[in-house]
Chains A and B, each alone.
Chain A
Amino acid sequence: MDFELTETEQAFREEVRNFLEEHLPPKDQRGPGFLGSWLEKVRERGWVGFSWPAEFGGSDGGLIEQAILKEEMALAKAPPLGSSFMGLAWVGPGIMRYGTQEQKQRFIPDILDSKVIWCTGYSEPNHGSDLAAIQCKAVKTGDHYLVNGQKIWTSGAPWAQWIILLVRTQFDVEVKHQGITCLLVPMDSPGIEVRPIENMAGDRHFAEIFFTDVKVPIENRLGEEGDGWQVTVSALANERSSIGEVTQMFETLDRLKTLVKQTTRQGKPASEDPLVRRRLAVFETRIAAMKYNGLRYLTRQIKGEPLSSETSVNKLLRASLEIELADFAIELSGPAGLELRGSDHAVDGGSWAKSSLNWPNVVIGGGTPNIQRNIISERILGQPKD
């Protein structure tokens, strides 16, 4: 065991820090043109798709350097390294692994250059957690597929230019995981209708999508026909390792501690209340557990030992923290804790109240907690499937 960084790793950390000091102004000094020039600069540095192979425009970055990069970016509260979270998290890796030469050349550079935003068409009205049961249909007709059906809860759909879409190309299958195919579809294709859905926090970033006789050229198929499930499983595996930013959780905890120090409960300083102190300590302990779980699993990956589904451990820890941290801030603040942005009473600009309604973004997307429990029990502990 050794937590020291090598000289090269340490030098890389310094490089990232120096870059951030030079190119990342404080939040209130970031003008309208900032994001565009930021994305260009991090791209020039090779930090977008940092771990991707150089032949695809990545930097062949190692796992530790990647962790350092993520940590420093989170510490500095930097904007994302690309405009398309999903493009970088799983569409790109999926295309690199399963795509044709032509697809790689066509899609990868645009993801890295933040020219295209992707969304992910998995869930359907009747099939969310039971993803393999999807019914959205694609029929091969000449040189294209004809897609009919519906997707829902598609994050980013209102502004995405492309969608990675899971469709059923065969219905008479022995098991539902067969007969699924993955297509890459422009969102401006004729026959696509996007209806944004307002969520409980008042935002409209997910949507339902209707497909009516949408023509998708066969060359836009990712992987072979019928291999869509395998393509998706490897993509979701990417997601589970990319969600779970411990640094951000520690930062949220620090804000909560600051709030505790400024707050009184029943007329006494909240920071002196043993129950408040204990709850903060429980949060901190669980975030620390996420950190050291993550490092342990990272070490195993570096050593080339395959992980089973251990990343579900941190996803579960994060799910409950995501809900409890914000709720505790509200509870501490009393009625004012519920006030949203714009109110004179809002606590920390209403950010806790807002977060307390936003947790499903993290907690449900990519597999609900109960799905994560199934994964752990079945794949790691070997329990029989439902």
Chain B
Amino acid sequence: MNFGFSEEQNLLREQVLRFMHEHCPMSRVRELIASDNPFAAQLWQQMADLGWLGLITPQQYGGVGLKWVDVTVVLEETGRGLCPLPFASHLLATATVLRCGSPSQRSRWLPAMAAGHAVCTLALCDDGNWLHPDAVTLTGQRTTDGVRISGTKPLVGDAKACDYLIVALRIDGKLALAGVATDSVSLTAANGLDATKPAADVHFDNLLISEDDLLPLDDADFHYLCDLGAVITTAEMVGAAEAALQMTSEYAKERIQFGKPIGQYQGVKHRLADMFVDIESFKSLLYYAAWTVDDAPDELPKAISYAKGYAADAFAQVGIDAVGLHGAIGFTAEYDVQMYLKRSKWARPAYGDSDYHLERVATLGGI
């Protein structure tokens, strides 16, 4: 029994931390999100060169062949720094190709994805508030030369930064996925409150997809990918929540009111302790969920529903209290803590809110 990280994983964490500190500090994050596409090709290439984009990709496809526990380490740190690059989206797209792609599709796509040449995202649900195969309604018509798609996929994460989209659709009523080049569709940028998680509506105008670019998708795949999406989201939440707590804790030591640091008042001190308890708890649950992906996949649904079911509301409260304990300064655009509040609002419903996950915990727990 060993519920901790290895020496290699600790080194990986240090490497990501150093990278975020040197190349993507908050000042850079702010620069990036001020542009209309928070993507930096040079940073992305550095991430690829460090092997992070192919961390879970098997070596035969040009990756490093590590596990989800390893990639969790990277996600915690990209989350801590609110990295606006599409690392999370690209990871889920990679997992999708690994799960659903044919051997030839894997050979065709994965090496370019691991090398950073093909930036990808997964567009799953048309009804973003429903994690169910029935929420996939975009339709493709089979023709003699392939499949034609018309319609719109709403609020696709990181679409603008990506070279390719993997889009869920229905063909003759059956679920499928299609690999689509972003330059063959048109995008309407969304205007979400967390600019570090940009999204866009993707419009298809009678787009022709060749059979080679279609992947099968069944209900089990759908739920598996949603669970992985929740693992990825929650891992980033752990790092972001810790950062929000740390900022607030440091501020409480320095801010003097009524002649004392505010951290000396139990109204502040106890709230900080409660934040710590919640973050420790969903962190432990998340680590366990990440471990199940490779080592106990039958346990994944319950494990990730524990983690996201806890984290969704707890991180939202951390965000609110982090800003609230700062007082008015926390409310300013200039101060970074508000960016974590925004992330907590983005993360709360992503891949299932607490109602969704807790209902699943009840069902899986025999109720």
Contacts and interface: CB of A to CB of B under 8 A. Distances in A.
A383 B291 CA distance: 33
A373 B270 contact: yes
B141 interface: no
Contact of B284 (A274, A292, A373): A292
A364 interface: no
B269 A284 contact: no
B291 A376 contact: no
Nearest to B249: A381
A285 B273 contact: no
A289 B284 CA distance: 6
Given A285-B306, A292-B3, A373 B261 contact: no
B264 interface: yes
Nearest to B289: A292
Contacts of A384: 253, 260-261, 263-264
Given A64-B1, A383-B253, A1 B287 contact: yes
Interface in A22-48: none
Contacts of A286: 281, 310
A299 to B, nearest CB: 4
Interface stretch (A97-105, A146-154, A185-193, A275-283): A275-283
**Interface core residue of B245, B263, B284, B366 (most chain A CB under 10 Å):** B284
B2 interface: yes
A268 interface: no
A381 B277 contact: no
B221 interface: no
A106 interface: no
B266 interface: yes
A64 B252 CA distance: 38
Interface residues of B, number: 44
Interface stretch (A3-11, A173-181, A198-206): A3-11
B284 A293 contact: yes
Contacts of B270: 370, 373-374, 377
A5 B277 contact: no
Interface string A257-290: 1001100000000010010011011101110111
Interface stretch (B42-50, B167-175, B189-197, B353-361): B353-361
A133 interface: no
A299 B264 contact: no
Contacts of B282: 289
Contacts of B361: 281, 284-285
Given A1-B287, A285-B306, A286-B281, A300 B362 contact: no
B249 A383 contact: yes
Contacts of B358: 277-278, 281-282, 285
Given A286-B310, A292-B285, A373 B273 contact: yes
A271 B359 CA distance: 11
B312 to A, nearest CB: 11
Interface string A307-333: 000100100110000000000000000
B281 A281 contact: no
Contact of A280 (B252, B269, B285, B365): B365
B309 A285 contact: yes
Nearest to A2: B2
A1 B295 CA distance: 10
A285 B310 contact: yes
Contacts of B219: none
B30 to A, nearest CB: 27
A218 interface: no
Contact of B264 (A257, A289, A317, A383): A383
Q: Which 6 A-B pairs have the closest CB atoms?
A: A289-B281, A292-B284, A281-B358, A373-B273, A383-B263, A281-B361
Interface of A: 1-5, 9, 64, 257, 260-261, 271, 274, 277-278, 280-282, 284-286, 288-290, 292-293, 295-296, 298-300, 302-303, 310, 313, 316-317, 370, 372-374, 376-378, 380-386
Given A281-B309, A377-B276, 5 more contacts: A3-B3, A277-B359, A282-B358, A295-B284, A377-B269
7 contacts: A64-B1, A293-B280, A299-B3, A302-B2, A317-B277, A381-B276, A384-B264
